[in-house]
Amino acid sequence: MQIKIGYLYPDLMNIYGDHGNVLTLVKRCQWRGIAVEVVALNPGDRIGHGEYDIFFMGGGQDREQVMVCRDLQEAKGEDIKREIEEGAAALVICGGYQLFGNFYRPFEGEELPGISVFDAYTVAGKKRCIGNVVAKSALGGKLGTVVGFENHSGKTYLGDGCAPLGTVTVGYGNNGEDKTEGATYRGAIGTYLHGSLLPKNPAVADFLIEKALARRGNDISLEGLDDSLELAAHAAAVKRAVKTH
Amino acid sequence: MRTGNRLALALGKGLGSTSRLFKVGGGSTLPGRAARILSPSLVPNMVKELPLGCVLVTGTNGKTTTAALLAGILDRAGMTPVHNRTGANLMAGIASALIKESDLGGHLAGRIGLFEVDEAALPAAVAETSPRLVLVNNLFRDQLDRYGELDTLASLMKEAVRTLDPESIVVLNADDPLVASIGRDLPHRVLYYGIDTDRYGSGSMQHAADSTHCAECGSRLTYEYYLFGHMGQYKCPACGTSRPESRVSAVELEMVELEGTRCRVRHPGGETTLFIPLPGLYNVYNVLAAMSCALALEIEIGTIKEGIEEFKAAFGRVERVEAEGRHMLMILAKNPAGLNEVIRTLTGGAGRKNVVLALNDNIADGRDVSWIWDVDFEMLRDRLGKVVCSGIRAADMALRVKYAELGEDSLAVEPDLETALDRGLEMVKPGETIYLVPTYTAMLELRRSMVKRGLVAPYWEG
């Protein structure tokens, strides 16, 4: 068994420790004996048909986000969409999440077009949403909680073509209004949560790995790992989120 | 002084001695906060009493150490600084330092103001203290949850610096592209410092690097070598902007493990060889920064060298403590760049290191702990012995250690810092060293516990 991760713009979109998500995917594969390869996808690089099983993109600062937006439109967007339709998994965080929607509308200046993996759009907000987040989620048909840290001023609204990742019980989530957090469409997950997200939400990590394996025709359920430390960190973060709210 | 100022001063002084008396702390922010509410013009009026004006020290990493280094030099030069030495670096902290050093008539015991200032508080500090010198040491992602983005922060700082008196001097780190950009097209006198040797340079960057794009045109910078995070020898291939030439430069470096660094510094007056009694490349930058400020203030180089070589670290930043025959070395690590440098230091020397990593997420630490995933813990592979993770977010820290595949044999999670300190002491033999690496409020708590055990003096007596 082997999977290949396409790490989108690691030099441009790497704010807030998002790199930990890729590390978590890699380790959780290796610990199960699944071979895994990570390939950096920089501006100008192309995405071959069926080449990648999981795409990852983190958040970035405004200037980097504009550069990435341009490259997605010119070089990668259509191919990523096709791959996700064909079963590839994806995790995109914060700025990456916004660019996977339909568009981002700033206060002034031009709208940034997204690649429309998610039927969602983002508008610039006046208030920065910062703090710990806890959301109830039914990702992969399993009920559970997702915990992380949000830091965004964009407000994201979902359309009918995607589902939220979860319902916020602590924090702001997508827009601070409708209690939704993140978006899912097929094997793709978009979210505002840093933390890094995957280390202390191992169920989300394993969801992505299972999707990636299924795409390669390995329809198996994953071997369990000793997640006692992961679950302890998850529980401590939830407790802290409630306390600092 | 006006009556309002006098009243505010009296109130502040009262609160300061009360808080020290009742041991609720050193009175490092409360007096200033209260006095400034009562009289907003207090700081601008009080600094007028300083015959040698004010110096502001800012930057993400090393403010407290740099200001303490400079304070030692100023003292030796007979300039008697009024200094917010406890590291309380918002306006309230500056006001508190002034109040503490003044009599009830507003007369100050010191002759020059030396204030470390939080990066985001720089505009307010410039407006209220009219400094004759501003130093910016570096800009890293620190507590973005408070500041917003780094580019925005840099442009606010640049605007503030532009409003300085035309006679004021700006001292900047040439090796940090974002910091260096503050000096571009500035009408003021700018003194750049930096490291001018690739001895400890590397071809690749640590994960904690932040500013890798040209501040002028946004293109990706190219580096001949990286030194510490995004600092190094850089240029922009698109618009030609490059690292400005530094006038105070370390041209030779020789690190002596955890003891310190020998270096040769070239400066406008010639060359000086000195020993920096603090570990790591980041302290070389702190020393170059303090030297540059002292030179700009026209202090003689012999005095500067003495001040640096006889320096004792600001409390908690690097602190050596003896306990039960064991050595404890506590090194503060409050953000990815700082922690990366601590890790680099720990990889030196023989044998495996036993460590207590303490991660808190109080407001002063930053609520967001995701920054630990930007730290290259992987550098410590095969270098660690026993590991205890502690603090409010002990489990998060333990996960980071686990995913770096370190300390598998002996990784303990002990959120209570007091207990973690005991565990740390138990796991090394007499004569051995235990390394404590805490975030800011975890450091304060560990230190309180050391005070209680009679191992160190409280910081306000230090």
Tell me: the pLDDT tens digits for B207-245? 555 667 888 888 888 999 988 888 999 999 999 999 999
Could you state, in order of their start, the residue ranges of all structural domains in chain A? Answer: 2-244
Contact A229 B413 (CB under 8 A): yes
Q: Give the range among A66-70, B16-20, B197-201 with minimum mean pLDDT.
A: B16-20
Chain A residues inside the 8 Å CB shell of B415: 236
**Quick one: angle between helices B122-129 and B150-162, nearest 10?**
10
- Confidence label for A214 from pLDDT (cuts 50, 70 and 90): very high
* CA-based nearest residue in chain A for residue B415: A236
What would the pLDDT profile of A143-170 be if each residue is shown by its tens digit? 899 999 999 999 999 999 999 999 999 9
Residue A100 CA to residue A92 CA, distance in Å, equals: 8
Q: Which residues of B172-202 are buried (b: 16+ CB within 10 A; e: fewer)?
A: bbbbbbbbbbbbeeeeeebbbbbbbbeebbe
Please state, rounded to an integer, the average pLDDT across all residues of chain B: 87
Q: Which of A194, A198, A227, A243 to mutate to test the interface with B (most CBs of B within 10 A)?
A: A194
State in Å, rounded, how far the first CA of chain A is from the last one.
Answer: 43
pLDDT at B432: 92
**Does residue A73 carry a pLDDT above 90?**
yes
Q: Give the range among A19-23, A51-55, A63-67, B413-417 with minimum mean pLDDT.
A: A63-67
Residue B393 CA to residue B219 CA, distance in Å, equals: 37
What would the pLDDT profile of B78-113 be if each residue is shown by its tens digit? 999 999 877 778 888 888 888 888 888 778 888 999
What would the pLDDT profile of B345-355 be if each residue is shown by its tens digit? 888 777 889 99
Could you state, in order of their start, the residue ranges of all structural domains in chain B? Answer: 3-309, 318-461
**Does residue B19 carry a pLDDT above 80?**
no
What would the pLDDT profile of B257-267 be if each residue is shown by its tens digit? 667 899 999 99
Residue A123, Cβ neighbours under 10 Å: how many? 16
Q: Mean pLDDT, to the nearest integer, of A74-99?
A: 97
Q: pTM for the complete prediction? A: 0.73
Residue B49 CA to residue B45 CA, distance in Å, equals: 7
Contact A240 B398 (CB under 8 A): no
Active-site residue, A94 included? yes
User: If you ran DSSP here, which 8-state letter would residue B284 be given?
Assistant: H
Task: Using alpha carbons, select from B373, B406, B376 the residue that is nearest to residue B388.
Answer: B406
Element (DSSP H or E) covering residue B112 = strand B112-116
Asked whether the CA dihedral A194, A199, A203, A204 is positive or negative, the reply is: positive
For A16, which of B151, B370, B413 is closest by C-beta distance?
B370
Higher pLDDT: A87 or B43? It is A87
pLDDT at A82: 97
**Architecture of domain A2-244 in this structure:** 3-Layer(aba) Sandwich (3.40)
**Architecture of domain B318-461 in this structure:** Alpha-Beta Complex (3.90)
pLDDT at B125: 94
* Tokens 């791959």, located at residue: A83
One-letter amino acid of A69: C
Q: Residues B216, B221, B224, B228: what is their CA dihedral angle, to the nearest 10 degrees?
A: 90
- Confidence label for B462 from pLDDT (cuts 50, 70 and 90): very low
Of A29, A129, A194, A234, the active-site residue reads A194
Q: Give the range among A9-18, A175-184, B7-16 with minimum mean pLDDT.
A: B7-16
Rounded to 5°, the CA angle B125-B130-B131 comes to: 85
- Confidence label for B15 from pLDDT (cuts 50, 70 and 90): confident
Q: Mean pLDDT, to the nearest integer, of B417-442?
A: 94
What would the pLDDT profile of B43-87 be if each residue is shown by its tens digit? 888 888 899 999 999 998 889 899 999 999 999 999 999 998 777
> To the nearest whole angstrom, how far is the Cα of B354 from the nearest Cα of chain A?
20
Q: Are A208 and A24 within 8 A, CB to CB?
A: no
pLDDT at B259: 73
Active-site residue, A49 included? no
Element (DSSP H or E) covering residue A210 = helix A202-215
For A11, which of B149, B212, B402 is closest by C-beta distance?
B212
Chain A residues inside the 8 Å CB shell of B369: 149, 195
Q: Mean pLDDT, to the nearest integer, of B112-133?
A: 94
**Does residue B10 carry a pLDDT above 80?**
no
Residue B141 CA to residue B130 CA, distance in Å, equals: 27
B448 Cβ contact list (under 8 Å, min separation 6): none
Residue A37 CA to residue B381 CA, distance in Å, equals: 21
Question: Which CATH class, in words, describes the domain spanning B3-309?
Answer: alpha beta
